[in-house]
Amino acid sequence: MPTSKSTSAPAPYRIIISGGGTGGHIFPAVAIANELRRRQPNAEILFVGANGRMEMTRVPEAGYEIVGLDISGLQRRLTPENLLFPIKVMRAVRKAGKLIEKFRPDAVVGVGGYASAPVLLAATSRGIPALIQEQNSYAGLVNKLLARRVQRICVAYEGMQSFFPADKLVLTGNPVRSEIASGQREEALQFFGLKPDKPVLLVIGGSLGARTLNQATAAALPRLREAGVQLLWQTGKLYFPEAEKQAAPYAPNNLHALEFVRRMDLAYAAADVVVSRAGALSVSELCLTGKPSILVPSPNVAEDHQTKNALALSSRQAALLVPDAEAGARLYNEALGLLQDTAQQQRLATNIRALARPDATATIVDELLALMEH
DSSP string for residues in 242-281: HHHHHHGGGGGGTEEEES--S-HHHHHHH-SEEEE---HH
Phi, psi of 202 (to 5 degrees): -105, 125
Reported as a pLDDT band with limits 50, 70 and 90, residue 133 is very high
Architecture in CATH for domain 179-353: 3-Layer(aba) Sandwich (3.40)
State which of 6-15, 198-207, 216-225 shows the largest mean pLDDT.
216-225
pLDDT in tens, 280-298: 889 999 999 999 999 999 9
Helix (H, G, I), strand (E, B), or coil: what is residue 134?
strand
Give domain 14-174+358-373's CATH superfamily: Glycogen Phosphorylase B; (3.40.50.2000)
Letter for the amino acid at 127?
G
Res 88: pLDDT: 73
Phi, psi of 373 (to 5 degrees): -65, -35
pLDDT in tens, 41-98: 999 999 999 998 889 999 999 999 999 998 865 445 555 555 566 677 788 889 999 9
User: Would 14-174+358-373 and 179-353 be classified into the same CATH topology?
Assistant: yes
Residue 57: name the closest of 25, 14, 26 by CA.
Answer: 26
Predicted structure pTM score: 0.82
Q: Using CA atoms, how far apart are residues 5 and 12, in angstroms rounded to an integer?
A: 8
Domains of the chain by residue range: 14-174+358-373, 179-353
Mark the binding-site residues, compressed into ranges. 22-24, 136, 177, 207, 280-285, 306
Reported as a pLDDT band with limits 50, 70 and 90, residue 331 is very high
Mark the binding-site residues for UDP-N-acetyl-alpha-D-glucosamine, compressed into ranges. 22-24, 136, 177, 207, 280-285, 306
Indicate the helix (H) or strand (E) that contains 329. Answer: helix 327-340
